[in-house]
Amino acid sequence: MSTTATRPRLNIDIGPLLEDQWTGISVFTRRLVQALDASGRLDLSFSVRMMQLHAAEVRETIRHGSGAFLRAQLDKRDAAERPPLDPALPLFYPSVKSHPNIVPREASTIHDMSTLVMPETHDERNVAHHLDPLRNELSTDEVVFCVSEATRRAVCATFPWAERRTRLLMQYVDWPEEFAAYERNLPPVELDRYAVVIGTIEPRKNLDLLLRALEHPAVAASRLTFFVIGKRGWLVDQALARLRPEVAQRVKFTGFVSEFVKYRLLKSAEFLVLPSVYEGFGIPAVEAMSLGKPVLASLTSSFPEVIGNAGLFFDPFSVDEFALALKEMSDVRRAAELAPKALAQAASFSPQRMAAPVLDWLGA
Amino acid sequence: MSEGNAALPEFRGRLLVSIPGSWIDRLRLPGSLFGREVLRDIAMPVELRAALALLSAEADAQSVPLQFVARPEIFTHGRSRAWLDDRIGNARDHVILTDGHTLRTLPGLRNHMFFYPRGIPAQEAALRRLIGIAPELFSGLASQINGGLAFRCGGAWHRPPGVHLRLRTTPDTGRVERFPFLAARLHDDADPRPVKAAPAGEALPEDRPVRYVPLSETALADGVFMRDLAERVQRAIFGGPERLLLELSRPEGSPSATDRMAAATLAFSETRVAFPRSPSRNVQFVTAPPRGLRMDSLLIHPGIAFWRYGLDFYGAAERIEVPVGTNPVNRFRNLLSSWLGRPVAVLRQDAVGEVPRVTLSEAP
Closest residue in B to A134 (Cα) is B133
Pairwise CA distance, residues B200 & B291, whole Å: 11
Closest residue in B to A277 (Cα) is B74
**CA distance to partner chain B, nearest, from residue A254 (Å):** 25
Q: Would you say the C-alpha torsion A10, A11, A15, A18 has a positive or negative sign?
A: positive
What pLDDT score was predicted for residue A235? 72
DSSP B132-189: HH-HHHHHT-SEEES----EEETTEEE-PPEE----SSPPP-S---EEEE--S-TT-T
> Which residues in chain B are contacts of A301 at CB distance < 8 A?
73-74, 76, 80
> Which residues in chain A are contacts of B21 at CB distance < 8 A?
117-121
Cβ-defined contact of B21 to A120 (cutoff 8 Å): yes
Question: Closest by alpha carbon to A171, among A19, A284, A304, A10?
Answer: A284
- The secondary structure element, H or E, covering residue B46 is helix B46-61
> Which residues in chain A are contacts of B25 at CB distance < 8 A?
203
**CA distance to partner chain A, nearest, from residue B302 (Å):** 27
Cβ-defined contact of A135 to B80 (cutoff 8 Å): no
- Tell me the ipTM for this assembly: 0.91
Pairwise CA distance, residues B24 & B324, whole Å: 39
Preferred mutation among B67, B74, B109, B123 to probe A, highest tally of A CBs within 10 A: B74
Closest residue in A to B82 (Cα) is A299
* CB atoms inside a 10 Å sphere around CB B178: 17
> Which residues in chain B are contacts of A317 at CB distance < 8 A?
29-32, 70-71
Closest residue in B to A276 (Cα) is B74
The domain defined by B178-362 carries CATH number 1.10.8:
no
Cβ-defined contact of A277 to B74 (cutoff 8 Å): yes
Contacts A–B by Cβ distance under 8 A: 92
- Give the three-class secondary structure for B321: strand
Cβ-defined contact of A318 to B30 (cutoff 8 Å): yes
Cβ-defined contact of B31 to A321 (cutoff 8 Å): yes
**CA distance to partner chain A, nearest, from residue B34 (Å):** 10
**CA distance to partner chain B, nearest, from residue A277 (Å):** 7
What pLDDT score was predicted for residue A99? 87
Residue ranges of domains in chain B: 15-163, 178-362
**CA distance to partner chain B, nearest, from residue A342 (Å):** 18
Q: Where are the alpha helices (DSSP H) in chain A?
A: 24-39, 55-64, 68-75, 114-117, 124-131, 134-139, 149-158, 178-185, 207-213, 217-222, 234-241, 245-248, 259-268, 283-290, 303-307, 319-330, 332-347, 351-362
Q: Which residues of A51-86 are buried (b: 16+ CB within 10 A; e: fewer)?
A: ebbeeeebeebbeeebbeebeeebeeeeeeebeebe
Nearest to A149 among B21, B77, B104 (CB): B77
Please write the tens of the pLDDT for every residue from A54-66: 999 999 999 999 9
What pLDDT score was predicted for residue B187? 46
What pLDDT score was predicted for residue A238? 79
Whole-number CA gyration radius for chain A: 22
> Which residues in chain B are contacts of A155 at CB distance < 8 A?
none
Across chain B, which has 364 residues, the per-10-residue mean pLDDT values are 53 90 91 95 89 94 94 94 94 95 95 94 94 94 94 90 93 88 64 72 85 95 92 93 94 81 92 89 93 93 94 96 77 93 86 60 57
Residues 306-325 of A with CB under 8 A from B: 313, 315-318, 320-321
* CB atoms inside a 10 Å sphere around CB A317: 26
Closest residue in B to A159 (Cα) is B136
Nearest to B74 among A120, A131, A278 (CB): A278
Please write the tens of the pLDDT for every residue from B225-281: 999 999 999 999 998 899 999 999 987 776 788 889 989 999 999 998 999 888 888
> Which residues in chain B are contacts of A118 at CB distance < 8 A?
21, 71, 73, 102
Closest residue in A to B21 (Cα) is A118
Cβ-defined contact of B32 to A117 (cutoff 8 Å): no
Pairwise CA distance, residues A265 & A194, whole Å: 9
Question: Within chain A, which residues score under 50 in pLDDT?
Answer: 1-2
Whole-prediction pTM? 0.90
Pairwise CA distance, residues B319 & B215, whole Å: 18
Q: Would you say the C-alpha torsion B304, B308, B312, B313 has a positive or negative sign?
A: negative
N-to-C CA span, chain B = 26
What pLDDT score was predicted for residue B204? 83
As beta bridge partners, residue B176 has none
Nearest to B78 among A120, A203, A304 (CB): A304
Cβ-defined contact of A135 to B136 (cutoff 8 Å): no
> Which residues in chain B are contacts of A133 at CB distance < 8 A?
none
Cβ-defined contact of B29 to A277 (cutoff 8 Å): no
Q: Strand pairing of A43-48 and A51-53? A: antiparallel
